[in-house]
Chains A and B, each alone.
Chain A
Amino acid sequence: MALRFMHAADLHLGSPFVGLGKVDGDVAELVRNATEKAFDGLIDACIKNEIDFLLVAGDVYDSADRTLRAQLAFRNGLRRLSRAGIRAYVVHGNHDPLDGWSAALQWPPGVHIFHGEQPEAVPFDRGGTVEAVIHGVSFPRREVRTNLARRFTRQDGDAFQIGLLHCNVGDNTGHAPYASCTVDDLAGTGLDYWALGHVHTRKVIRSRNPAIVYPGNLQGRHINESGPRGCLLVEMDTAKQVRMEFLPIDTIRWSRETVQIKELDSDEALLRALEHAIEGIRDREDGRTCICRLILEGRGDLHRPLRRRGYIEDLREAARRLGRQLDPLVWVDALEDRTRPPVDVKALRQAPDFLGDCLRLIDKYAGDADHRTLLEQCLKPLHRYLQMPTDAELVSLLDEVETILIDDLLGEDKE
């Protein structure tokens, strides 16, 4: 018989949105409930699609601390699932390892939480027939640097064999290298489907023999997790062909939008451009509340007024008001000014004057990491408390330094 299951991962229940500034009360409420609402959406989707079981591939909670609220939310969701007669198989990942605090909660029947260390094989049976075997292992602690995938082995029999694992496939995921393994490691186990978690962006590494899939996280939690997020509805037929359907169930979308000021000649034009951008976001994110970051870019005459004290804040408030009026609303979290003065920087850099000297110095620092000691020295007072910016961040900071130097040293009669 064919199988129908839901594959989700990285729920990060009880997690705040990272890097989100202050939000208004009603938006705060949405933000506060976003991960839990997305999880509720997952349970709804499971019930609506009449699946056989749900797989959760780790990072149910955002932190090993696992807030009580998050645990209750998870328990309540699974309880709903259990009442609908749907089983759930759960592994924990690096964010919520087994050694984290776990409130003494009673899991509803039909929920299996995998142990740590060694993979377990749990049969899924229907009418006495084992139709699938789910292999899984949880992170016993946060730091799991061993290759867990290699410990999985296929069981004898024709039943579908599914691996449930929180891990990092390959080295280049942009995620912490926990339980790293290779595609070959996974394929070598002989399982039919690898339900993975850890990488927050949906990714089908292999579509068959075996399917190796990251469903991505359920709800984007910061500006770099933009776009639709959700779970995968997976159907496996008797020929072990896998059909996957992505179900976007996030409740809030993150979005980044760039506005060019080059052609803009007035505040009104800028505001119109922002409005256009905000409406574009609203139209794009299929009826979801959005949190967006607007970035002003380009060289133009508007650069100078933008640099005026309080101007960008006023503009952000205006943009926020525009976004608030939309339905669903678009919350303008930040308005970044990355505009440049309308000058020929190349010429300035070659100029025989002091500014030219400064710009050439910036070039030197940007191009050569070895020369950055001076910069790091000057950042020390603050970055004693905060992390030092990375090389990439330093280069981006130098861009702004260049802009400030040009703005402030070039005087008013530029060009």
Chain B
Amino acid sequence: MRLDRIYIDGFGRFHDLTIDHIPSGLSVFYGNNEAGKSTLLAFIRAILFGFTDGRSRHDSTYPPLRGGRQGGLIAVIDSAGNNYTVERRPGSRGGLVTVTLPDGQMADGGVLTRLLGNATRDLYRNVFAFSLAELQQFESLDDDAVKSTIYSAGMGMGLVSLPAVEGAWDKVMDETFKRGGTRSAINRIWSELDELRAKVQSKTGIREEYDKANQKRADLESEIDMLERRRRAARKWESTAQRFIKIWGDWNALSLAEQELCGLLGIGLDQVEVSVDESKASAWLSQAGWKAMSAEQSSEIEDLSRRGERYKATLPELPKLKSELQTARSEFRQSLSELGFDWDAKRVQATDTSVAVRDRIYAHREAIQKHKEQFRESRASLQASAEAARQACAEMKGHRSAPNAQQPALQAILGRFASPLPFWPAAAIIILALGLGTIAALYLRNDTSPLALLGSLILGAMLSTLYLVLNSVGQERHKRWAAARDAFDQAEARHSKAIQELAEARTAWTTWLSSVGLPTDLSPEGALEMFASIRASRERANTLSRLKDIVSEKRKFVAQYRKQVISLAGACKPPFDSRGEASLIIDRLVRRLDLERDIKRLNSALEELAGRDDRLAAFKKALGKSSPVKQEAWLNRAGEMLSSLDQKLREKHKELGSVEERLKQLEEEDILGLLIEEQSLLASLADHARKWSVYAMAKAILREARERYERERQPEVIKDASQFFAQITAGEYRQILASPEQSTLHVVDKHDRPKQMDVLSRGTKEQLYYAVRLGLIREFNRRQEPLPVMVDDIFVNFDPHRAEAALHALLTLTATNQVLLFTCHPETCDLVHQIAPETPMFTLPEGQRAHFTVAG
């Protein structure tokens, strides 16, 4: 395939430019710097391989600088001579390409790809269209890199470095997985998985433990169940024994009560021995038709019992009361006889002995008494006045003889009173007066002692004084005598009146006595005494009457009580023995009632504990066969058993608790979390493994392709390249050697000496690369449509000889490939002109075909 015509529009500095009639062999495109050589090269690549979007570091987008719409076309002719037009405008993915087929039909890019022999842009750029820049890359590359770069070029890999790619892959693979490594992802995951699986494995050990614990739980539960049952049994024994013990007293009491009742009722008496079985006693009772007393009967008994004391007390009272009655009766009769023959009970009762009557007696008595007093006073006053009159008379006659002289007058006065009153007080008074006078006369004569002397002196004084006084009163004595006679007369009158009033009072008294039917000779005191006797007699009558009542009432009570008791005893079932004293009967009835009540209460207590009817009967039977001693023993044994069982149960429960706790823990132990984690690791492992596998395979394929390349294609390339290299170096170097095994590239000089790349000069290295390119082009030509070759000032560093040789080598390619030589060096143009004078030259930027105008 070769270029025939180029039309450029709006691409960099070019606008609406046509370069026509490009020959099939070599053409030179000459232009100064910035004339558009690189732009033209870029345009050709853009049309053939697509516009670049500017993201590549190798190409700019060449926006239109001089107007026009970016794009254009290239007319090409294939090796068979068919004409195609390739037209392209920029756009996505290299721009829209249109290919006009030789028949004028339009086609898509597929045709173009075929025309280009499936070459890629990179392949084309590196092998067919290269510049000094590509050659100069060698400067900075080491051996392997050079070799690789050569390979890359040959492999159509553009600037991609195979070692770099492989290196990058290796890095990824190493990060992912490394044999024997520890830090790579997969290795890490592996060890995590190992740990995790060990954990899972260790957890599966819990199964055995769980089963064991489960078995242990079941065993413990059945043991506990058994212990509980034993405990319940022991508890039952215990409570039975407790019941027995608790009820024993009642039971015994019941038995005794029933026995006593039997005795009381006279039932089974012939059989009663020391102790009668309760059941026997109760059987007797029921056989005898015993019925507990009714409520009415009970309350009647209680009533009788209450009154029983009185009854009992009354019985011995009756004879005593009888004798008391006797006594009272005789005493009453005695009192009547003391009052008088005409007194009887009726009169005693009828006589008024009231206070009013007694007050009258007292009044009479006081009146008499008063008048007696008045009589005595008047008489005394009369006597006193008679004395006073006698004295007054005596005084007047001298005092020594006076009493005797006056004696008869006084006697007369006194005599008036003599009758009722004794004479001795008046005589005594006179004797005393005479005695006193005698004693005084003795003292005055006989006493001669100093004391008697002093007394005589005092007495002398006193007698002289008395003498003086007696002398002064003499005149008065006469007057007093007259007065005393007057007083005597008055007293005499008062005395007469008193005697009269006394007599009147006595008459009133006797009158009252006869009015009340009493003997009139009674003094008030006697009357009062009489009344007291009447009252006493009345008392006796009353006592008698009261006693009579009492006796009667008591007799009645006793009779009634007896009657009631007998009737009650007869009404009982069976009838109660009513012989004997009622109080004894009632005592027995009370006892019966008490026993019946006890029996009832005790039976209810038993019932409460044991149940009714049959159960009660069974319980009683059991009671009959047991004893408190036996039951105490049972109780003790049961208590011991219970405490031992409780202890065991506590232990077992504790053990069960810990087993259950452990089971719960085990049930919560869960490996699912670990399994999930394992799955997550496996997922991650799979991802990494896939990644690693992909790269490992990619690498394997890469290597295989490379080996194949090196084996099958590289030798041809190297052969051709060796020829070109020898030609260019004029035989200085004979051969290029590339060994796939050793991965090295070296040259052999004319002396057959191998030389490593690094000893070659820059120019020689460039020439080597140039030769390899030409070899590659040859190699490609063998397998595909030969493509146009475009070189851009590559001879700059070549010496003139080698430049010429290099140009010759290029010219040999024109037999198969169209060659476009871009240059800005006139000497290059000259060289071409010298070697191939017919070579057309296009000037840039005009794009016009021109004749070589040799600069020199």
Contact = CB atoms under 8 A, between A and B. Distances in A.
Interface stretch (B683-691, B754-762, B814-822): B683-691
Contacts of A385: 190
Contacts of A389: 693
Interface in B658-682: 666-667, 669-673, 675-676, 678-680, 682
Given A356-B156, A358-B705, A378 B672 contact: no
Given A16-B678, A101-B207, A410-B120, A357 B693 contact: no
B699 interface: yes
Contact of B210 (A68, A355, A358): A68
Contacts of B211: 103-104
A20 B680 contact: yes
A292 to B, nearest CB: 14
Nearest to B679: A16
Contacts of A408: 160, 165, 168-169, 698
Contacts of B58: 413
Nearest to A351: B118
Interface in A1-40: 14-23, 28, 31-32
B107 interface: no
A293 to B, nearest CB: 11
Interface string A354-398: 111110011001000000001101110111011001000000011
B679 A19 contact: yes
Contacts of A414: 120-121
Interface string A171-182: 000000000000
B215 A355 contact: no
B680 A21 contact: yes
Contacts of B680: 20-23
B320 to A, nearest CB: 96
Contacts of B704: 361, 374
A101 B694 CA distance: 41
B690 A357 contact: no
Interface string A319-340: 0000000000000011000000
A176 B56 CA distance: 54
Contacts of B679: 16-20
A378 B696 contact: yes
A354 B705 contact: yes
A19 B683 contact: yes
Contacts of A383: 689, 693
Nearest to B696: A378
B792 to A, nearest CB: 18
Given A104-B211, A378-B697, A397-B697, A65 B204 contact: yes
Most buried by B among A18, A397, A413: A413
Contacts of B804: none
A352 B778 CA distance: 13
Given A19-B683, A21-B680, A28-B676, A355 B698 contact: no
Interface residues of B, number: 83
A361 B56 contact: no
Nearest to B158: A411
A239 interface: no
A409 B165 contact: yes
B55 A412 contact: yes
A409 B701 CA distance: 12
A5 B155 CA distance: 70
A243 interface: no
A404 B172 CA distance: 12
A401 interface: yes
B448 interface: no
B694 A357 contact: no
A130 B582 CA distance: 88
Nearest to A385: B190
Contacts of A14: 672
A411 B690 contact: no
Contact of B682 (A19, A350, A355, A410): A19
Contacts of A31: 676
Contact of B118 (A67, A342, A350): A350
Given A15-B675, A101-B207, A347-B113, A361 B705 contact: yes
A409 B159 CA distance: 9
A352 B156 contact: yes
Interface string B86-120: 00000001100000000000000010010001111
Interface string A78-104: 000000000000000000000001011
A39 B275 CA distance: 79
Contact of A382 (B50, B121, B154, B186): B186
A285 interface: no
A125 B650 CA distance: 46
Interface string B38-77: 0000000000011010011111000000000000000000
A72 B666 CA distance: 11
A69 interface: yes
Nearest to A28: B676
A184 interface: no
B215 A382 contact: no
Most buried by A among B57, B678, B698: B698
Contacts of B346: none
Contacts of B676: 16-17, 20, 28, 31-32
Contacts of B121: 413-415
B160 A352 contact: no
A404 B118 contact: no
A268 interface: no
Nearest to A375: B697
B706 interface: yes
A386 B123 contact: no
Contacts of B155: 353-355, 357
Contacts of B854: none
A19 B686 contact: yes
20 contacts: A16-B675, A20-B683, A21-B687, A65-B204, A67-B672, A103-B211, A348-B118, A352-B119, A352-B156, A353-B157, A357-B705, A357-B708, A358-B705, A397-B693, A408-B168, A409-B162, A412-B55, A412-B56, A413-B49, A414-B120
Given A101-B207, A352-B784, A361-B705, 14 more contacts: A16-B678, A348-B120, A351-B123, A351-B156, A357-B708, A375-B697, A389-B693, A400-B694, A404-B695, A404-B698, A409-B160, A410-B122, A411-B122, A411-B160
Interface of B: 49-50, 52, 55-59, 93-94, 110, 113, 117-123, 151-152, 154-160, 162, 165, 168-169, 177, 179, 186, 190, 204, 206-207, 210-211, 214-215, 218, 666-667, 669-673, 675-676, 678-680, 682-687, 689-690, 692-702, 704-706, 708-709, 780, 783-784
Closest 6 CB pairs of A and B: A353-B156, A354-B155, A351-B118, A16-B675, A378-B700, A104-B214
